[in-house]
Structure 1
Amino acid sequence: MKVAIIGGTGFVGLYITRHLLAAGHVPRLLVRPGSESKVERPESCEIVHGDVSDPSSLVECVRGCDAVIYLIGILREFPAQGITFEALQYQGVVDTIAAAQENCVGRFVLMSANGIRPDGTAYQRTKYRAEQALKDSGLRWTIFRPSVIFGDAEGRMEFCSQLKKDIINSPLPAPLFHAGLLPTKAGLFELAPVSIEDVADAFVLALSESRTESQTYSLCGPERLSWKAILSTIAAASGRTKLMVPAPALAIKAAAGLFDRFPWFPISRDQIRMLMEGNVCTENDGFARLGLTPTHFGVDQLGYLARGD
């Protein structure tokens, strides 16, 4: 099967491309000029140079393919640089759907996100609208909604590596965010980290099994872990201990209100909001429905954090 991948040079795209090749598929990647070095095993992939903002590039990428996988997502937007949720998480999906329809590519697999909703943050709203556009497209679709994803980043951005860089390696105490003024529940909101290997397995399985069509799967790891427990695990995997202190979210949001338009500031107001909402699966377990067993999140699975600073 020839599979077009939009967003194939990122962290998730790296692993999905590997798993597609291992399963005997032929990935065709849309690659921006200058990003060719991010393609692993380029001799085994087909490369289309272009950008998601160019509909003609999308048409070229999907033409002759059996399926399309759309992976592009960002955690923060920087409108001055043309990096927006609207463009990359919604309009890019709409344009890729149109390219697939034009070229009779009937199969479309979309990476969304756990916890999205129509009345949430800009990140959540654009992901939700993209899902609706795909469901209304007439294509044979599958949607995956992973929680926070962990795994060896290999130089790309990844949840645990980013927390190690921004929090664990910082000389400042780690913040245990809490609502209100009293720190009675500081750092106790829960996430369900999911392995990138498991996410890639789910995507590849969806291409070969018709039972996954017209289905939405939330992908969460087997444990619901508090923010405090996750930071402790990342610190231990990095060979460190870390002081942690309660941090009122209102104060952090106030600082983010001043500085989150700058890339050097580590977190945005919306990221704080979504983080404190938690990110665990509340619907039927996606991995159980797929017949897959998710990977435990622990020190042994985070060995890649011990490499470098």
Structure 2
Amino acid sequence: MSASRTALVTGATGFVGRHLVPALQAEGWTVRALTRRPAAYDGPGEVVGGDVSDPASVVEALRGVDVAFYLVHSLDHTDYAERDAAAARAFSAAAEAAGVGQIVYLGGLGADGDQLSEHLRSRREVEHLLARTSVPVTALRAAIVVGAGGISWEITRQLVKNLPAMIVPRWVSTRTQPIALDDAVRYLVGVAGNPAAHGRTFEIGGPDTLTYEEMLQLAAEQMLGHRLPIVRVPLLTPRLSSYWLALVTDIDTRTGRNLIDSLGTEVVVTDTSIRDIVPGTPTSYAEAVRRALAQPRG
């Protein structure tokens, strides 16, 4: 790959972004790391200041960019859907004006339709809004990304660590298809600058389809050496579940509520065509957990 290619990573200080920047550099990309607080950034790449919701603030950051990675969200706000939609419109327009060659977006799995939660509908809306300009968009849809510091993984890790037994809601029986952080980053890098991925949507996941209860128990086996007693409570609502999470983890109530709303939606891979574009063997959930436990939460 030519070293002259330039990538912009939005959300460069976030869970996925801070791993994506060095991975792109390792493949020869010149990387700009976009953040609202450039003075506080101490990661790799060229740091640039900007806010995706303010087109004027990202004009210089987007100049000469071949691929822009869109990894931002506003889950910690009550009006996150409106904020994220406005930011997607602003960013895609700025990218088109700057002549960006491709936008790569990491969104959420789940079949289109009324069954999607508000959170997943918002992720899908952002995907569609980014694609409304002439800039080709590649969308990768994922369920839980398993890695140290990821919100969904931290919920799993802290529940297992802090509770000798669990009283859980019905959503623990919902099926999902988690993906290792290393695989998510590998797919993001693999589609960047790849014409075969332009204008396409790919579903990405690991090889294991599990319920949330199975994920908790497999994590418990690796962390504690045994499984946990689990009791299901049918009437534990999303609101009560979010308060429960806030009590036993360091995840704030608002973010927890927005995530929990999605846990009743089955999110599994139905199309594996990403493997034709980015070959490789996906990492098992058990191995993803081992790697996450070995990494600093950073």
The residue aligned with 2:87 is 92
90, 108, 112: which one pairs with 2:107?
A: 112
Is residue 231 of structure 2 the alignment partner of residue 246 of structure 1? yes
2:113 and 2:288 mapped to 1: Cα distance? 37
The residue aligned with 1:78 is 77
Distance 1:249 1:99, change over 3 A: farther
Q: Tell me the amino acid that sits aligned with residue 142 of structure 1.
A: T
Q: In the TM superposition, what are the counterparts of 1:115-264 in structure 2 within 5 Å?
A: 115=110, 117=112, 119=114, 120-151=116-147, 153=148, 156-165=149-158, 167-171=159-163, 173-178=165-170, 187-253=172-238, 255-256=240-241, 264=252
Q: Tell me the amino acid that sits aligned with residue 97 of structure 1.
A: S
> More displaced, 137-146 or 286-295?
286-295
Is residue 37 of structure 2 the alignment partner of residue 33 of structure 1? yes
Is residue 264 of structure 2 the alignment partner of residue 276 of structure 1? yes
SS at match of 1:133: helix
Distance 1:206 1:257, change over 3 A: closer
1:78 and 1:218 mapped to 2: Cα distance? 27
The residue aligned with 1:53 is 53
Distance 1:308 1:238, change over 3 A: farther
Q: Tell me the amino acid that sits aligned with residue 161 of structure 2.
A: N
- Cα offset, 1:270, TM superposition: 4.8
> More displaced, 9-18 or 115-124?
115-124
Q: TM-score with structure 1 length normalisation?
A: 0.82
RMSD, matched Cα: 2.9
- Cα offset, 1:170, TM superposition: 2.2
User: Do the aligned residues in 1 keep the contact of 2:53 with 2:87 (CA within 8 Å)?
Assistant: yes
1:250 and 1:303 mapped to 2: Cα distance? 35
- Cα offset, 1:246, TM superposition: 2.8
Distance 1:34 1:131, change over 3 A: closer
Distance 1:49 1:254, change over 3 A: closer
1:69 and 1:300 mapped to 2: Cα distance? 23
Distance 1:7 1:118, change over 3 A: farther
SS at match of 1:47: strand
- Cα offset, 1:284, TM superposition: 4.0
- Cα offset, 1:30, TM superposition: 1.2
- Cα offset, 1:168, TM superposition: 0.9
Structure 1: runs of 5+ lacking an equivalent: 180-186
The residue aligned with 1:184 is none
- Cα offset, 1:28, TM superposition: 0.6
The residue aligned with 1:292 is 280
